[in-house]
């Protein structure tokens, strides 16, 4: 039987923000509690959005996992909230007795490192992806250079006992700053995505509408196919800073009746979007290890994705999905056409991918590897 450990986890964003980070932290914590009897305290920010405050404490796995939302309660991008989040967890981490303090990129680097230094508790830091290697697609603001420098300090300059990368592509980079780097991928809830639905010719994107996702390329590619596949709809699920620009692009291309901006949808409805799609497309210029890829695979959905870091190492071309060069709408057009014209072959990709996630990407397996890492440290 596993020795019970008490773990502190730090995560910058939480509901109502959506993304892979909060899902990873929540699912990993629950799996550690369920399979290894760990007690996990998650520290994250109290957030507000559209006038509604999200401050309540959450508990999972019969109380073994607690989500603590630390004030001040601000919008996610509020500078006071972001700066204070690098300080406010530290007293709580020092007051409690933890076996391991485990931060997740990026801002939690500061309280993770500071509390570990002051308490002597071993620290772990998970990098969920970084643009430090590719240098593209992450930030288009005037402060992009400053943010990149800060990210470099957090990822490479701070001293942690162990650093986890969710892919192998970033291991070499991380080893330039750290002695102990391990690759542990994301996981997926297999049962949640095992749903039955009739496959359509719809093309699905699900994710944050951010620069690195390159949804503009997908829209441009889809516009080339609307006459050839009149029954196909491009469904864009998610929110983000690029939405208005994407809606303008759709109008300018004259295809608003063929594109549906679904916005933020309920967690309960997400599996059905994957299960009914003819193909899921991920045209990003870089990723860490995208949870949406694993979710699509868990739903046996055919996948088209960019051949970039954080994706290429996981997709076996023409076996578990189809890879195309990044920022290539013409290549993306051809790939989508290939899938929609050959649905039986595409379904073979989905079947193969489902078998892959069953064998390699369960949250129980991710928790096993993470727990063994913790045991090495304590």
Residue 220: CB partners within 8 Å, gap ≥ 6? Answer: 249, 253, 329, 332
Q: What is the pLDDT of residue 29?
A: 98
pLDDT for 189 equals 95
Based on C-alpha coordinates, what's the Rg of the chain? Answer: 21
pLDDT of residue 142: 59
Return the closest-CA partner of residue 312 out of 330, 324, 302.
Answer: 324
Tell me, what's the pLDDT at 149? 87
pLDDT at 109: 97
Q: What is the pLDDT of residue 19?
A: 83
CB atoms within 10 A of CB 345: 13
Q: What is the DSSP letter of 258?
A: G
C-alpha distances in Å from residue 301, one per residue of 13, 76, 318, 352: 28, 32, 13, 10
Give residues with Cβ within 8 angstroms of 178, minimum separation 6. Answer: 156, 159, 160, 162, 163
Residue 43 half-sphere exposure toward CB, CA atoms < 13 A: 25
CATH number for the region 203-360 comes to 3.40.50.2000
pLDDT of residue 70: 98
**What's the CA gap between 151 and 156, in Å, rounded?**
8
pTM of the predicted structure, to 2 decimals? 0.91
Collect the ranges in the chain with pLDDT lower than 70.
1, 133-143
Cβ atoms 9, 112 nearer than 8 A: no
Q: CA-to-CA distance for 309 and 279, rounded, in angstroms? A: 21
Distances (CA, A) of 50 to 22, 144, 207: 20, 27, 20
User: 6-187+362-377 and 203-360: same fold?
Assistant: yes
Residues 46 and 73: beta-carbon distance below 8 Å: yes
Spelled out in words, what is the top-level CATH class assigned to the domain 6-187+362-377? alpha beta
- The residues spanned by each domain of the chain are 6-187+362-377, 203-360
pLDDT at 133: 67
Chain position carrying tokens 């088209």:
304
Check residue 140 and give its pLDDT. 58
């Amino acid at each position: 039987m596993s020795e019970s450990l008490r773990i502190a986890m730090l995560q910058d964003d939480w509901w109502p923000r959506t993304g892979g980070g909060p899902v990873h932290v929540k699912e990993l914590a629950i799996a550690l509690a369920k399979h290894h009897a760990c007690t996990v305290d998650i520290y994250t920010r109290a957030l507000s959005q559209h006038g509604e405050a999200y401050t309540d404490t959450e508990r999972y796995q019969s109380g073994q996992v607690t989500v603590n939302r630390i004030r001040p309660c601000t919008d996610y991008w509020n500078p006071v909230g972001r700066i204070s989040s690098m300080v406010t967890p530290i007293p709580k981490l020092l007051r409690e007795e933890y076996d391991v303090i485990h931060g997740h990129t990026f801002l939690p680097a500061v309280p993770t490192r500071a509390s570990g230094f002051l308490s002597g508790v071993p620290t772990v830091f998970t990098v969920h992806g970084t643009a430090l290697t590719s240098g593209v697609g992450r930030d288009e603001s005037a402060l992009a250079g400053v943010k990149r420098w800060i990210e470099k300090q957090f990822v490479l300059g701070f001293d942690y006992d162990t650093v986890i990368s969710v892919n192998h592509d970033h291991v070499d980079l991380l080893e330039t700053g750290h002695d102990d780097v391990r690759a542990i991928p994301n996981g997926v809830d297999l049962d949640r995505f095992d749903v039955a639905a009739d496959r359509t010719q719809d093309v699905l994107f699900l994710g944050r509408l951010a620069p690195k996702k390159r949804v503009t390329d997908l829209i441009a590619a889809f516009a080339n196919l609307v006459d050839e596949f009149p029954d196909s709809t491009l469904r864009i699920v998610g929110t983000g800073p690029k939405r208005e620009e994407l809606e303008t692009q759709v109008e300018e291309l004259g295809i608003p009746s063929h594109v549906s901006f679904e916005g933020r949808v309920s967690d309960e409805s997400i599996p059905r979007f994957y299960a009914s799609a003819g193909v899921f497309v991920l045209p990003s210029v870089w990723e860490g290890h995208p949870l949406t890829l694993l979710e699509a695979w868990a739903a046996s959905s055919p996948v088209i994705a960019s051949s970039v870091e954080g994706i290429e190492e996981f997709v076996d071309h023409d076996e578990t999905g189809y890879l195309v060069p990044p920022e290539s709408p013409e290549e993306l057009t051809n790939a989508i056409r290939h899938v929609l014209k050959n649905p039986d072959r595409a379904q073979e990709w989905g079947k193969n991918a489902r078998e892959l996630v069953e064998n390699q990407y369960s949250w129980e397996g991710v928790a096993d590897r993470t727990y063994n890492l913790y045991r090495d440290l304590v």
